[in-house]
Amino acid sequence: MKEALLYKKLDRKRVRCNLCAHRCVIHPGKAGICLVRKNIDGILYTEVYGRTIARHIDPVEKKPLYHFYPGSKAFSIATPGCNFRCHFCQNWDISQLTDKDMLETGQKATPEQIVSNAEQTRCKSIAYTYTEPTIFFEYSYDTARLAHEAGLKNIYVSNGYMTYEMLDMFSPYLDALNIDLKAFRESTYRKIIGARLQPVLDTLKKIKQMGIWLEVTSLIIPGINDDPVEIKDIVNFIATELGLDVPWHISRFFPAYKMSEVPATSLRTLQLAKDIGIEAGLKYIYIGNVISEKDMDTKCPQCGHILIRRRGFSVIENNINDGHCPNCGTKIAGVGL
Ligand code: SF4
């Protein structure tokens, strides 16, 4: 076990973890809400440092990031655990600690080994993903610093619940994030997700202010966040607070975990969400988890020319010319285009 970063010692050997917005006060012998940070005799430890429960080479499009080195590969890692309790989690088998033994599962790997694996497999970046990477911050931080020394990029795929302190510390090494904006109702965040909405909104604004490349994903779930009024609220927040250039990924829900009885999102609802985004002026909108080629392509927001053609997670054609539309010359938002 490794001593945690970003915590404060309190009286009676209690500690306050300042890594995510839960800011857990943890008594000796106890763990925080994420269950992977434990107070042992007044010292906070991370229990997941150096152990990956998932490790894959993915197209960066799978994160999803569509405007960040399109067509490149991301060496993707996760440890067990999460600070959210989403009833609809699609990765619940590795994110929700149903058993203490889960902390012992997975493969051991030092940050040096992760970076070396990423280089050997010709990945452009390392993605901290699948579960919530904030809860393995120390591991990702050490890996990210080495990755930058090796010329690799770092990607966080996150629920956006990290604190400003964490972002300030990590930002020199973070190159891109995809943040889930899972709903726009405080009640949904509290009842179905086990968190609060406002810290996520604050994080999104902070990332944008920091100038780190940002894309946003919203999983649209029937009966939970598919009301057009709520979708408009999500879209208006992106448009006014983050900017029209921020790509928005609308993701299709499939029955999972505690919501196995809820039907998959209808294609009509996904199209409605897209239309609402277009009406608000968002320039780059994608629909994920469906087999629809036209909804995955990147088009020039000015002239409609197809810039990147995708099939599944593969880029089959990239016509962007040094960051610009080859047809009308419009600058296309993104990094490594
Ligand atoms: S990371 Fe968040 S959930 Fe985990 S102990 Fe720290 S404040 Fe609590």
d(CA 28, CA 65): 40
* CA 127 / ligand 1 centre spacing (Å): 21
Q: What is the pLDDT of residue 116?
A: 98
Q: Is 19 in the pocket of ligand 1 (CB under 6 A)?
A: yes
**Ligand 1 contacts CB of residue 37 (under 6 A):** yes
How many CB atoms sit inside 10 A of residue 311's CB? 12
Measured CA to CA, the distance from residue 275 to residue 282 in angstroms comes to 10
Residue written as tokens 């579960």?
Answer: 131
Instruction: State if residue 135 touches ligand 1 by the CB under 6 angstroms criterion.
Output: yes
Token pair of 20 as six digits: 């995510």
Please give the pLDDT value at position 21. Answer: 98
Distance 133 CA to ligand 1 centre (A): 12
Amino acid letter, 117: N
pLDDT the model gives residue 98: 73
Q: What is the mean pLDDT of the chain?
A: 96
Taking the CA of residue 83 as reference, the ligand 1 atom at the shortest distance is 3
Of all protein residues, whose CA lies closest to atom 7 belonging to ligand 1? 23
Is 77 within 8 Å of 127 (Cβ atoms)? Answer: yes
State how far the alpha carbon of 155 is from the alpha carbons of 111, 148, 329, in Å. Answer: 15, 12, 28
The Cα–Cα gap between 274 and 280 comes to 10
Direct distance between the N- and C-terminal alpha carbons of the chain, in angstroms, rounded to an integer: 40
For ligand 1, whether the C-beta of 20 sits within 6 Å is yes
Q: How far is the CA of 173 from the centre of ligand 1 (A)?
A: 21
Sheet holding 306-311, edge to edge: 298-299, 306-311, 314-318
- Please name the residue whose Cα sits nearest to atom 4 of ligand 1: 34
From the CA of 134, give the closest atom in ligand 1: 1
In this prediction, residue 32 carries a pLDDT of 96
CA–centroid distance, 19 to ligand 1, in Å, is: 6
Domain regions of the chain by residue span: 2-46, 51-296
Candidates 231, 240, 301; CA nearest to 270 is 231
The DSSP code for 106 is S
Q: Is the CB of 34 under 6 A from ligand 1?
A: yes
Determine if ligand 1 sits within 6 Å of the CB of residue 24: yes
Give the Å distances, CA to CA, from 30 to 21, 136, 139, 264: 18, 18, 21, 38
Q: Which atom of ligand 1 is nearest to the CA of 23?
A: 7
Closest Cα partner for 145 from 104, 173, 107?
Answer: 173
Give the pLDDT confidence of 12-28 residue by residue, as tens digits: 999 999 999 999 999 99
What are the structure tokens assigned to 241, written together? 């607070």
Residues of the chain with pLDDT under 70: none
Residue 102: the pLDDT is 78
Nearest CA to ligand 1 atom 2: 20
Cα–Cα distance measured from residue 64 to residue 82, given in angstroms and rounded to the nearest whole number: 19
Q: Are 247 and 310 in contact (CB under 8 A)?
A: no
d(CA 187, CA 194): 10
User: What is the Å distance from ligand 1's center to 143 Cα?
Assistant: 20
- Helix (H, G, I), strand (E, B), or coil: what is residue 26? strand
Cβ of 6 closer than 6 Å to ligand 1, yes or no, is no
Q: pLDDT value at position 289?
A: 81
- SS3 annotation, 211-265: CCEEEEEEEECCCCCCCHHHHHHHHHHHHHHHCCCCCEEEEECCCECCECCCCCC
* Pocket lining: 258 vs ligand 1, CB cutoff 6 Å: no
Q: Quick one: pLDDT at residue 105?
A: 79
What is the C-alpha to C-alpha distance for residues 162 and 212, in angstroms, rounded to an integer?
A: 15
Q: What is the CATH number of domain 51-296?
A: 3.20.20.70
pLDDT tens digits, residue range 207-259?
999 999 999 999 999 999 999 999 999 999 999 999 999 999 999 999 999 99
Atom of ligand 1 nearest to the CA of 7: 6
Query: Ligand 1, closest atom to CA 18?
Result: 7
Q: In this structure, what token pair is assigned to residue 57?
A: 């080479």
To test the ligand 1 pocket, which listed residue (22, 43, 84) has its Cβ within 8 A of the most ligand atoms?
22
What Rg value do the Cα atoms of the chain yield, rounded? 20
